[in-house]
Structure 1
Amino acid sequence: MIFEQSWRWYGPNDPVKLATIKQAGAHGVVTALHQIPVGEIWTKEAIKERISQIEESNRLHSFKLHWNVVESLPVHEFIKQGRPERDQLIENYKESIKNLAACGVKTICYNFMPILDWLRTNVRYELEDGSTALLHDMVDVVIFDVYMLQRENAEQSYSDDILMRAKAKYESLSDHEIAVLKQSLLMALPGDKDGFTIEKLKNGLKQYDGISREQLQENLIYFLTEVIPVAEELNVVLAIHPDDPPWPVFGLPRIVSTAEDLKFIFEAVPSVHNGLTFCSGSLGASEENKLTGIIETWYKRIHFVHLRSVNRVAPYHFYEANHLEGSAEMYNLIRKFYECHKKDHRVLPMRPDHGHEMMDDQGKPYYPGYSAIGRLRGLAELRGLEFGIINSLK
């Protein structure tokens, strides 16, 4: 076995219940305490409460699910910005790590993306078969940035060609299409009930005025230099998630987008506890990223795996494909993981990342990308591919 099959669960309010996760073939539960405001300490009591919810479901249904990965323990914006308040916030982060370790949860996924997590311009893009997928089109990002957000000097972030295409498309959009674009780009993250508004996003962007890519890199290394010694002492691994998409958005710098970015991070803080969440969709959105090469180079730093595929329509334009289709070349990825696995026999937690909204799930209140049946299909396909590779290469 290369992977421990896992499933992301957003807690008691998730429409996908714990009892059904085992039915999908998963053993690991990837979850987080979204109810705790970013920057506050995750107490042992709150962590144990989440563990007890999983254990109670196990008792009722004779399962053996366990919380194997935190996704995510979020990093406060003040830490990313390098503000004076960061030192206390980092101390809080260390306490959360200690409390998680004391409760037996020792793999922590996090990201260092300013303000925004993943960004999509249509969260229900209809495919030929009637299912819907997540789509990102930079032309639509420019339309939102220039004509809706009206960010100061936004035009300077883009080429003349894409500005011309954005202008032409914007003038052709219906009111409904504009509403879909605005709703998609301002969507709240899971666990965030408030979401974004134009004003809230503008204010967030202003806080990053003057923060360059190099400064953001320095702030990440400052953070890691502080927290990785705690992780080492407690045998905890931190796994940074790549930028999604892997290029700048709204003028914000991105620093976890390329193989060179990973090299900088891992050489600056060389501990193996400073690791990577390998996300084939985030990294794979850019044709420049050679995914099998990243696996081979940084395998010892990979502590968590997200498997999904995107279909690259054009530069900076993609939609999420079925897990075994699209641009990821999933067979090659899992085969490379198997080749590396044979050297150290580590079993990595893996979850099917995102999934199409399809069949009976359509129209239900799922967070886009996290409906049940689409991810079930993805996990089934990935398990089958893993099984086939292992048995064909014995």
Structure 2
Amino acid sequence: MSVQRDDAAQSAYEQFEDLPMRVGVGQIKELSDEHLQFAAQVGIEDVLISPFDPHDEYDLTLTTGEVWTLEELTALRERVEAAGLRLYGLETLPYNLYRILIDDNPQEKIDVVKESLKNIGRAGIPVQGYSGHPPTGVSRTAPKVLRGGAKATAFDPELVDEAILEIRGGGEAQALDPEEVGSRVIETDRELTEEAMWETYELFLQEVIPVAEEYGVTLGLHPTDPPIEQIAGVPLLFRNFENHKRAMELYPSPNHGIKLGMGCWSEMGEDLVEVIKRFGGENIVYVHYRDVVGTAETGFYETFIDDPESNFDEYEVMKTLYEEGFTGVMTPDHVPDLPNEKEWPAGGFRGRAFTIGYLRGMLKAIRSEAGIDD
């Protein structure tokens, strides 16, 4: 079947085919002209947008829980293009994956995802990410103070059953009672066993991937953050390499790969270079570029991308991506909160500008080593 795209949507879709590995920027909460201007100013051409807000705190670019229409997706792409940028993809589904996995009758939610994927493909948007986070989103304990008074999120496994903190903008966090977390996550009377959730996930893949293939959309799976066995009694499936391998093998497809959340893999204690080599560049849809100090097992905190104490060598990892043939987009993901910035969850404009510049500098050096002039 040939996807029914208008000429502008087809042109937008085709322009991604021959692009090299590059730096982009992600977007949480409602897309603003300021965010688009920022991307253009720091030399970014690719934008990703996340329509999911577990805290119901922000105005969002797309409404969750309902089918995304062709008209609104086309308008969104055209708005990004009007700023001289490209809409590379959407970071999350109309439903957080865990809302589907814990539902007694998930088919209705799966059908919403399928209809949305059809419209995403028709609108000329090539990538759709989805998250292995529980519905409460990324969970942390108390923040860590970094150089110059910057703040970063942190996780202490000894405290996770006593006080879970949710990421908020401007270095702020809100403490949650574990029972409250459980009531927000668990919306079913059935026992949430890991194998039952795997069965529902396989159903999800069997229903969704054929639609993605038919409409030319590539799906990317993001790992759980933090990558631990459970939160509030809910098993977290995407917490290690073995489970990601299982996820990819349940329904192999060129339209399904991993969203390489480097911070999450670093939290697992995995060697990022080996992870990239094991999956291969063609199976990595796009990259969240960040690092931490420590692991989920021992406790960790997020940090600046150039921190010599962090778990991996940021240049070696990027060079491995390049050598493995990765050709997608790398975004800063979380960055430390700098003082007086509240415009963005998990770090603001200045933190992202620093990280984007650092990533672009490394990429330029790697391309120069390979004899490629920008």
Under a length normalisation based on structure 2, what TM-score does the superposition of the two structures give? 0.82
SS at match of 1:90: helix
Percent of aligned pairs sharing the same letter: 25
Q: 1:142 aligns with which of 155, 161, 166?
A: 161
Q: Does structure 1 residue 352 correspond to structure 2 residue 326?
A: no
Q: Which amino acid aligns with 2:111?
A: E
Q: State the match for 2:146 in structure 1.
A: 127
Shift of 1:36: 4.4
Q: Does structure 1 residue 203 correspond to structure 2 residue 223?
A: no
Q: Which amino acid aligns with 1:39?
A: G
Shift of 1:306: 0.8
Q: State the match for 1:230 in structure 2.
A: 211
Q: Does structure 1 residue 106 correspond to structure 2 residue 126?
A: yes
SS at match of 1:207: coil
Q: State the match for 1:378 in structure 2.
A: 355
Q: Which amino acid aligns with 2:366?
A: I
1-10 or 320-329, larger mean C-alpha shift: 1-10
Q: Which amino acid aligns with 2:90?
A: V
Q: What are the residue-to-residue correspondences of 1:164-175 with 2, within 5 Å?
A: none
Q: Give the distance between the partners of 1:369 and 1:14, measured in 2 at CA.
A: 17
Under a length normalisation based on structure 1, what TM-score does the superposition of the two structures give? 0.78
Q: State the match for 2:314 in structure 1.
A: 330
SS at match of 1:238: strand
Is this contact kept in 2: 1:7–1:29, CA < 8 A? yes
Q: Does structure 1 residue 49 correspond to structure 2 residue 85?
A: no
Q: Give the distance between the partners of 1:115 and 1:78, measured in 2 at CA.
A: 7
Is this contact kept in 1: 2:276–2:321, CA < 8 A? yes
Is this contact kept in 2: 1:75–1:111, CA < 8 A? no
Once the two structures are superposed, residues 90-114 of structure 1 have per-residue CA deviations (whole angstroms, 9 ceiling, x without a partner) of: 1111110111111110201111333
Shift of 1:14: 5.1
Q: Give the distance between the partners of 1:316 and 1:210, measured in 2 at CA.
A: 29
Is this contact kept in 1: 2:162–2:178, CA < 8 A? no
Is this contact kept in 2: 1:312–1:319, CA < 8 A? yes
Q: Give the distance between the partners of 2:155 and 2:235, measured in 1 at CA.
A: 18
Q: Give the distance between the partners of 1:357 and 1:24, measured in 2 at CA.
A: 18
Q: State the match for 1:151 in structure 2.
A: none
Shift of 1:12: 4.5
Q: State the match for 1:81 in structure 2.
A: 102
SS at match of 2:235: coil
306-315 or 274-283, larger mean C-alpha shift: 306-315
Decide whether aligned partners of structure 1 residues 81 and 313 sit closer, same or farther in structure 2, where only a CA change above 3 A counts.
closer
SS at match of 1:272: coil
Shift of 1:223: 0.2
Q: Which amino acid aligns with 2:329?
A: P
Q: Which amino acid aligns with 1:116?
A: T
Q: Which amino acid aligns with 1:24?
A: V
Q: State the match for 2:6 in structure 1.
A: none
Shift of 1:304: 0.9
Decide whether aligned partners of structure 1 residues 372 and 35 sit closer, same or farther in structure 2, where only a CA change above 3 A counts.
closer
Report the aligned-residue RMSD.
2.6
SS at match of 2:301: strand
Could you list the runs of 4 or more consecutive aligned residues of structure 1 that deviate by over 4 angstroms after TM superposition? 11-16, 195-200
SS at match of 2:37: helix
Q: Does structure 1 residue 366 correspond to structure 2 residue 343?
A: yes
Shift of 1:312: 0.8
Once the two structures are superposed, residues 49-74 of structure 1 have per-residue CA deviations (whole angstroms, 9 ceiling, x without a partner) of: 32233234x2xxxxx21111111224
Q: What are the residue-to-residue correspondences of 1:170-185 with 2, within 5 Å?
A: 184-185=165-166
Runs of at least 5 residues in structure 1 that lack an aligned partner in the other structure:
59-63, 145-181, 190-194
* Larger radius of gyration between Structure 1 and Structure 2: 1
Q: Give the distance between the partners of 1:222 and 1:50, measured in 2 at CA.
A: 30
SS at match of 2:162: helix
Aligned residues: 335
Q: Which amino acid aligns with 1:87?
A: Q
Is this contact kept in 1: 2:224–2:239, CA < 8 A? yes
Shift of 1:88: 2.0
Q: Which protein has the bigger helix share?
A: 1
Q: Give the distance between the partners of 2:243 and 2:250, measured in 1 at CA.
A: 11
Q: 1:259 aligns with which of 232, 238, 241?
A: 241
Once the two structures are superposed, residues 304-361 of structure 1 have per-residue CA deviations (whole angstroms, 9 ceiling, x without a partner) of: 11111101178341111211331122122111111112xxxx5211111211222xxx
Q: Which amino acid aligns with 1:233?
A: E
Q: Give the distance between the partners of 1:286 and 1:12, measured in 2 at CA.
A: 31
Q: Which amino acid aligns with 1:83?
A: D
Q: 1:22 aligns with which of 18, 35, 40?
A: 40
Shift of 1:302: 0.8
Once the two structures are superposed, residues 280-309 of structure 1 have per-residue CA deviations (whole angstroms, 9 ceiling, x without a partner) of: 10111121x222222112122211111111
